[in-house]
Amino acid sequence: MRLAITALLFVGGLFFLFMGAGFLLDPAVSGGDFGLTAKGVQGLSSIRGDLTAVFFVAGGCMIWGGWKRNGDPLIAAAAIMGTVFFGRCVSLAMDGTYEGWFLPMTVEALTMVLCLAGWKLLPHHDLTEELD
């Protein structure tokens, strides 16, 4: 089970790094795949900066945690994916659905669960000890 979790973390992290690279190198096309249209240079800068950060940090933490067999960085990736999932849930409730809405939410939820499972399974710091 531990090997499967670490392999999934590594492969998922690579997937997110490649997605982040798409936003970094070609934000107009990658943003369009996400339903985002840049309004001028400021829009391109926002897509390039914000979405690259989300995918690079989440993917990097997943790879780091899986490669080093360390659950600590997985908390950051789980928090990022959980926040994205929460934002999509709010949008779903307030704005309604769109074609293909289910797939990104599924990926984000499964990534969050994978990171939390990896955190639980791999060695990590006891967060309650830090409070004492």
Asked whether residue 98 is assigned to any structural domain, the reply reads yes
11 lies in a domain?
A: yes
Query: Confidence band (pLDDT; 50, 70, 90) for 124?
Result: confident
* 3 state DSSP class of 48: helix
Whether 53 is covered by a domain: the verdict is: yes
Provide the domain count of the chain. 1
Q: Is residue 102 part of a domain?
A: yes
Inside any domain, residue 88: yes
Phi, psi values for residue 119, rounded to 5°: -60, -45
pLDDT of residue 16: 98
Give the pLDDT confidence of 15-43 residue by residue, as tens digits: 999 999 999 999 999 999 999 999 999 99
For 118, the token pair is: 């990896």
pTM here is: 0.90
Asked whether residue 40 is assigned to any structural domain, the reply reads yes
What are 46-60's pLDDT values in tens digits? Answer: 999 999 999 999 999
Instruction: Dig out the tokens for 40 from the structure.
Output: 């001028």
User: Which residues span the domain enclosing 19?
Assistant: 2-124
Which pLDDT band holds residue 131 (cuts at 50, 70, 90)?
Answer: low
Q: Is residue 132 part of a domain?
A: no
Query: Has residue 129 been placed in a domain?
Result: no
DSSP string, 17-30: HHHHHHHHH-HHHH
